[in-house]
Homo-oligomer: A and B are copies of this chain.
Amino acid sequence: MPDMNFSEDYEYAKLLDADDEMGIFRGQYVIADSQELYMDGNSLGRMPRRSLECLQRIVEKEWGHQLIRSWGQGWYDAPQRVGEKIAGLIGAAPGQVIVCDSTSVNLYKLVMAALALRPDRMKIVSDTMNFPSDLYILQGCITSAGACHKLHLVPSLDGVTLDLAELFGAIDEDTALVTLSHVAYKSGFLYDAASITAWAEQKGALVLWDLSHSVGAVPIELDRWGAHMAVGCTYKYLNGGPGAPAFLYVNKGLQTKTLSPVWGWFGERAPFYFEPIYQPAEGVQRFMSGTPPILSLLVMEQGVDLALEAGIERVRKKSLGLTNYFISLFDIRLHPLGFTLGTPRDPAIRGSHVSLRHPSGYQVTRALIEEMRVIPDFREPDNIRFGLSAMYTTYSEVWDTVERIYQVINEERFLNYPATRLSIT
């Protein structure tokens, strides 16, 4: 994987861009300000241009004209249709993925279902690198389930990676559920999902993957891993739009044995017959809740289509090209300035963002945003995250980003900002 032709010069970035087979996709996204370096696509992806046509169709034909009839003309099927498209990105055979609710609500539903499937086991295993939002849901689920379960968080010693042996040691015959984020939101660590799933399966535990930071960025093979359940968000690397509805996966073999705690009418066998007694739908649809937010869902579909057109192999190749290049430039330009790498150096265990750690990380982030037209984001205590999207980030943008980070330190611009976080973004 080392790039033998590597050079730190800007011309080399231009060469890489010229040679980039994914370059054709950048034009598919709205880039309102080409001088601004948007490095936060792992938090909110850019808007696909075709979202505009989609919105126009909704406005002029669907909501605006066909009104209620649109439910029978593409709306009612949309959670399944888009779910099957996402299935193609996560290695799931048909009939196992549905779009509904938020990642948090989906996680709640699946965790409650998983605990009910393993009523004699009282341990939930996760780790300290998981999304806090997922840990909150787990804490709530334990309360909902009667407060008898124990949440075991495997610690990450370096804050970047997880020791698999330690994780394996934590999974035992009392473990009902192992739930982890496939790519760690802070460090970008990519878990060996196949081995972890196989180990848990051997111990009789269920495994639930949060794919929010991996879907549309790295290859995922839920069926091959033998994963039991998964959830994921669509507004990061899938570019689905702010708060776009999430998805969930329930393995075919489990579907008839389990139910969502939320007996929603969209998960009912025949919702428009208005029968008084709930009868769950046959397949994964039983995990749907209420009426889905159609505007957000249909716009999100556009981002998913683009990811499918690119293909996850090409996406992964470009993504690693970007992160490798970023790290090579970091070594030369930024490491001497006091930055350390908060992301695995080994590409085999790296997602699609690079975290740089710096004692003045928050100040550096503010300076980049306010003065340098670079948009990363900051995660406590000292991580500056640079999300690199295979769909639209260029090598030149990476080069420019590293140079602007260099300037923030070199020109002491970061000293213009408070050391602690004041705003929510």
State the CA gap A30–B63 with chains docked (Å): 9
Number of interface residues of A (CB under 8 A): 89
List B contacts of A60 (CB < 8 A). Answer: 32
24 contacts between A and B (CB under 8 A): A30-B59, A30-B65, A32-B65, A44-B67, A101-B105, A102-B264, A104-B262, A104-B264, A104-B290, A105-B262, A108-B264, A135-B277, A137-B262, A139-B263, A139-B277, A139-B278, A140-B261, A140-B278, A243-B291, A243-B295, A244-B293, A273-B421, A274-B380, A296-B296
**Chain B residues near A262 (CB-CB < 8 A):** 104-105, 108, 137, 140
- A242 near B425 (CB under 8 angstroms)? no
Chain A 277-300 interface residues, beta-carbon cutoff 8 Å to B: 277-278, 289-297, 299
A241 vs B291: C-alpha distance in the bound complex, in angstroms? 11
**Closest-CB distance, A292 to chain B (whole angstroms):** 5
Interface residue from B51, B75, B103, B424 paired with A59 (Cβ < 8 Å) = B51
- Which chain B residue lies CB-closest to A60? B32
Whether A76 sits at the interface, judged by CB under 8 Å, is yes
Interface string of A225-266 (1 = CB under 8 A from B): 000000001010000011111100000000000011111111
List B contacts of A108 (CB < 8 A): 261-262, 264, 289
Interfacial chain B residues near A64, Cβ < 8 Å: 30, 32, 47
Q: Is there contact, CB below 8 Å, between B68 and A44?
A: yes
A112 pairs with B144, CB closer than 8 A: yes
A276 at interface, CB cutoff 8 A = yes
Is there a chain B Cβ closer than 8 Å to A55's Cβ?
Answer: yes
Give the residues from 295 to 325 in chain A that come closer than 8 angstroms, CB to CB, to chain B.
Answer: 295-297, 299
Which residues of A, 116-170, contact B by the 8 Å Cβ criterion?
128, 132-133, 135-137, 139-140, 143-144, 146, 153
* A379 and B274 within 8 A (CB): yes
A69 at interface, CB cutoff 8 A = yes
Chain B neighbourhood of A75, CB < 8 A: 242
Give the Cβ gap from A346 to chain B, nearest Cβ, in Å.
25
Residues of chain B within 8 A of A278, CB atoms compared = 135-136, 139-140
Taking the nearest CB of chain B, how far is it from the CB of A368, in angstroms?
A: 13
CB < 8 Å neighbour of A67 from B40, B69, B76, B105:
B40
